[in-house]
Amino acid sequence: MLYVVSAKQSSHFQQLFRSLELMDHSDLAHRLRHVSFGKVQGFGPKHGTGVLLSDIFGQYRAAVQKFLEADEGKKFQGGESVLDNLSATALMAQDLSIKRHGNLTFDAIKTATADGYTGLSLQHWFTKLCLKRNGATVNRGGLEGADYSMFEEEEYADVLRLLAQFPGIVKSSFRSLESSTILAYLFHLTHLLSAVWNEEEDDLDQNLTQLAFYEIIRQVMENGMQIVGLAPSVLA
């Protein structure tokens, strides 16, 4: 299957389809699939020449930089490379979390926070999971005899049920060509994770079940972010 991406108007797609048939490429024409998306709002033309990606990125970078300077908890540490990474994640996550047919309104200020459903929030939780592991590895041989009583608590069970849905979520996203399906899943996962997160629990190498639990979440988050083009990084 070949995909032709354009705005909601499908006239260009129809012209391409007819042209291929006239050129005796009807087999190729019938393999085409029109993929539409909504309007982009929030930025006006610059000097009558349109808006460059660098203009959009610059506004997100400025907003994220302001957030980092005011961040008393120092959720993220690093230099220019960290700033660029977070800015790109903030921009892309906002774009990818909107359904294709929905209109996207760019709002750099709204995304420059590690709270709520933002790209910075995903990076924040991914970093927390990596730091929580602190280099410890899961001894798979010991999992069979591990204590799983923690999963009798409803909050932990909710996270497990959501983790089990990940393969189906990925398939659904590919079938519908909707990146927003995966983003919504990741945001839901971090929301449930906050209910079972123990900030004081550091000695995970002595708690195999807890270590494996966090490691599975970290891996699912990494896979999900990479699938939609985000770059999960330890930014601390």
Q: What is the pLDDT of residue 4?
A: 42
Tracing tokens 């069970």 back to the chain, one arrives at: 157
Pick from 124, 129, 53: nearest CA to 92: 53
Q: What is the pLDDT of residue 202?
A: 57
pLDDT tens, position by position, for the chain (236 residues)? 444 445 545 566 566 656 766 677 777 666 666 666 777 776 655 555 567 788 889 999 999 999 998 887 777 877 788 899 999 999 999 999 988 877 878 889 999 999 989 999 999 999 999 988 877 788 888 888 888 888 999 999 999 999 999 999 999 999 888 999 999 999 999 999 999 998 766 555 558 888 899 999 999 999 999 999 999 988 76
Q: What is the pLDDT of residue 1?
A: 44
Please count the other Cβ atoms lying within 10 Å of the Cβ belonging to residue 207.
Answer: 16
Q: What is the pLDDT of residue 2?
A: 44
Pick from 72, 169, 57, 53: nearest CA to 114: 72
Q: What is the pLDDT of residue 118?
A: 95
Q: What is the pLDDT of residue 16?
A: 65
CB contact at 8 A, 232 and 222: yes
Give this prediction's pTM: 0.82
CB contact at 8 A, 60 and 83: no
Q: What is the pLDDT of residue 146?
A: 85
CB contact at 8 A, 36 and 101: yes
